Amino acid sequence: MPRAAPPKPKHAVIAAVQLPSVSDAEFASSLSELGELASTLGFEVVATLTQKRTSFDAAAYLGTGKRQELRLLVQGEAAEEEDEAPSVTEKRTARHGAVAAREAAKALAEADQKRVAYVLVDHEISPSQARNLENEVGCEVLDRTMVILEIFHRHARSNAARAQVEIARLRYLAPRLREAAKLAGPQGRQRSGVGGRGAGEGAGEADRAKIRDRIAELQRELIAFDLERQTQRARRLASQGLARVALIGYTNAGKSTLMRALTGSEVLVANKLFATLDTTVRALVPDGVPRVLVSDTVGFIKNLPHDLVASFKSTLEEAAEASLLLQVIDASDPGYQRQIEVTEKVLEEIEAAKVPRVRVFNKIDQVGDARTQKLLAAELRAQYPRCIVMSAVNADDVAKLHKSIRAFFARKLVKAELFLPWSAQQLRGELFANCEVLEERAENDGAHFSVRGERKALKVLRERIEQA
C-alpha cells in the first residue's frame, strides 16, 4: 500500500467510452482532467484509447475490439521491454565490476518503467467490470473514483481527514474485495497495488467483517474529532465576532493562493489536484471591524465520489456557516462553466446554496495576451454581474478583493449606543475588537460609546456587559 508518490513516473493508459449524451468538448476536457489526476499521482500517461458507444459494455466497460486493442497496447509495451533484455546481458558481459552492475541495474529499471502499470478508466465502473477488464488486458485497472480516492489518501494530513478518506476507501473497496474473492477463491493471488486492493484479494467473510469493524471504529473517531472541532468553532464564534468568509470552488482554482494573499498565512499551495483537504481558518489581514475570518476548503471536481462528498460534509460545514462565499473559478480553464456547475451542485448538497456568494474569476493573467484578457473579463462581467475578475498574483487585484470583502461586511454594520459601566472595563478590549468606535464619552458611572458593528456581535457584547 504505497503512501508516498513513487520516485519515477509509472506508465498509465487512459481508456474512455464517449456516450452519445456527452459532447466532444466535454469529453475532451474530462479526459484532460483525468490526465491531471494521473500526474498528481505521479503517473505518466503514455496513450489514450477512446470509443463511442451507446452504453458501457456490461461485462468489461469497453467493447470487445477495444479491449483487444488495449491488451495489445499494454502487452506491446511489455514486449518492448523484453526486446531490451539481450542488450542488458550484452552490456553485462562486455564490462566487468561495479560499473557494469550499475549500468545493468539502470537498464533494467528503465525497462521496468516502460511497463504499463495501470489502465485508467474515466468513469466509475462496477467491481465485476473492473475485474474482467483487468483479467483481459493484464494490468491493474483504476476507475476515476479510485484515482480520486488515492489522491485524497495521499494528501490527507489531519487525523480527521485521514479517517474520512479511509472510510470512503473502505466503502469503495469492500464490494471489490467480494468480487475478487468470488473470482480468485480463498487462495487468491496477492498483488500490491494502488489503494491496497491487492492486499485484500481473496478476502473472505472474516476480512469483510474486519472492514466493517474498522469503518465503525473510524466513525467513532470521527465523532470525537467532530466534537473537538465544534468546541473550537464555538470558541471562535464567541470570542472573535461572527464575520466569516469561505473560499470554495474547483480543485486547483487558486483558493489557497488567495487565502495566502488575503491573510498573509502560509497555507499549502501546489499545482496539484486536491492539495488542500482540511479547512484552515485565518483572519483577514490587515484587520478591521468587524474582524473577518477566512476559511480555505477542499476543492470540488466533476463526479466527486459520493462517499467523499458525504465524508467531507462536516469539513464543508464551515462553508455553509459562512456569511459570504467566495466562489473561486479558474478563468484560464476553457471548461470554467463546468467548474461553476459542479461547484453549485456540491453547494446544494451541503445546503450552502443560499449563502451570499461572489464569483471570483481567478488566473486571468494566464489567458492569452492583454487584449484577450480584457475581452474575456468584459464577457464574464456581462454574463455574471457583480463578479470579480482577477489574478491572485497581482497585488492590486488582491487589494480590490480585500476591499470588496470589507464592503460586504460594512453594509451589514449597524449603529448602536453602548454603555460600559466602570465595573465592566475588562470588556473594553472586546468592544474595540468587535466594533468601530465612532465616539466615546466618560460619564459618572461608566463610559458611553457610539459604535458601528455587526448586529450579532453587538447582541453578544450587550449580553456580556449585562452579565459583567
Ligand X SMILES: Nc1nc2c(ncn2[C@@H]2O[C@H](COP(=O)(O)OP(=O)(O)OP(=O)(O)O)[C@@H](O)[C@H]2O)c(=O)[nH]1
List of residues contacting ligand X (CB under 6 A): 251-257, 269-271, 273-276, 299, 362-363, 365-366, 391-393
Residue 314's binding partner out of ligand X, Mg ion, none, with CB under 5 to 8 Å set by partner kind: none
Q: Which parts of 270-335 are beta strand (E)?
A: 280-283, 292-296, 324-330
Among residues 317 and 454, whose Cβ is nearest to ligand X?
Answer: 317
- To ligand X, the closest distance from the beta carbon of 130 in angstroms equals 26
Minimal distance in Å, beta carbon 297 to ligand X?
8
- Taking the least distance from each CB to ligand X, the nearer of 256 and 279 is 256
Torsion sign across C-alpha atoms 165, 168, 171, 172: negative
Q: CB 110 → ligand X: shortest distance, Å?
A: 30
Comparing CB distances to Mg ion, the nearer of 240 and 280 is: 280
Shortest-Cβ-distance residue relative to Mg ion: 276
Helix (H, G, I), strand (E, B) or coil at 198: helix
Inter-CA distances, 400 with 255, 275, 395, 404, Å: 16, 26, 9, 6
The span from the CA of 29 to the CA of 34, in Å, is: 9
Report the distance separating Cα 336 and Cα 323, nearest Å: 25
Residue 278 CB, shortest distance to Mg ion, in Å, is: 10
Q: Which of Mg ion, ligand X, none does residue 467 bind to, with CB < 5 to 8 Å depending on kind?
A: none
Total site size for Mg ion, rule CB under 5 A: 4
Quick one: what does residue 393 bind among ligand X, Mg ion, none, with the CB cut-off 5 to 8 Å set by partner type? ligand X
Given a contact cutoff of 8 angstroms between Cβ atoms, the answer to whether 155 and 277 are in contact is yes
263 binds, options Mg ion, ligand X, none, Cβ within 5 to 8 A by partner type: none
Which does residue 253 touch among Mg ion, ligand X, none (CB within 5 to 8 A, set by kind)? ligand X
Judged by CB under 5 A, the chain residues 266 through 305 that form the site for Mg ion are: 275-276
Which CB atom, from 188 or from 299, has the smaller least distance to ligand X?
Answer: 299
252 binds, among ligand X, Mg ion, none (CB under 5 to 8 A by kind): ligand X
Instruction: Decide whether 309 or 437 has the Cβ nearer to ligand X.
Output: 309
Least distance (Å) from ligand X to the CB of residue 271?
3
Which x/- pattern, by CB under 5 A, does the window 197-236 give for Mg ion?
----------------------------------------
Nearer to Mg ion, 249 or 290 (CB): 249
Residues 252-271 that bind Mg ion (CB under 5 A): 255-256
Return the number of other C-beta atoms located less than 10 Å from residue 274's C-beta. 22
Among Mg ion, ligand X, none, what binds residue 365 when CB lies within 5 to 8 Å by partner kind? Answer: ligand X
Closer to ligand X by Cβ: residue 121 or 298: 298
In whole angstroms, what is the distance from residue 127 CA to residue 60 CA?
Answer: 10
Residue 243: name its binding partner from Mg ion, ligand X, none (Cβ under 5 to 8 Å by kind): none
Nearest approach, Cβ of 364 to ligand X (angstroms)? Answer: 7
Choosing among ligand X, Mg ion, none, which partner's interface includes residue 274 (Cβ < 5 to 8 Å by kind)?
ligand X
Long-range contacts of 72-79 (CB under 8 A, 24+ apart): 73/13, 73/47, 73/49, 73/116, 74/13, 74/116, 74/119, 74/137, 74/138, 74/139, 75/138, 77/11, 77/46, 77/114, 77/115, 77/116, 78/115, 78/116, 78/138
* CB 298, min distance to Mg ion, A: 8
Residue 116 neighbours by CB under 8 Å, 6+ apart: 11, 12, 13, 46, 73, 74, 77, 78, 139
**Rule CB under 5 A: is residue 347 a binding residue for Mg ion?**
no
* Residue 367, SS3 per DSSP: coil
Could you tell me which residues come within 8 angstroms of residue 10 by beta carbon, excluding any fewer than 6 positions away? 42, 43, 44, 113, 117, 118
Residue 255 CB, shortest distance to Mg ion, in Å, is 5
**Minimum distance from CB of 398 to ligand X (Å)?**
9
The C-alpha atoms of residue 408 and residue 356 are separated, in whole angstroms, by: 10
Contact 298, 316 (CB under 8 A): yes
Q: Which of these, 296, 302, 262, lies nearest to 390 by C-alpha position?
A: 262
Interface residues with Mg ion (CB under 5 A)? 255-256, 275-276
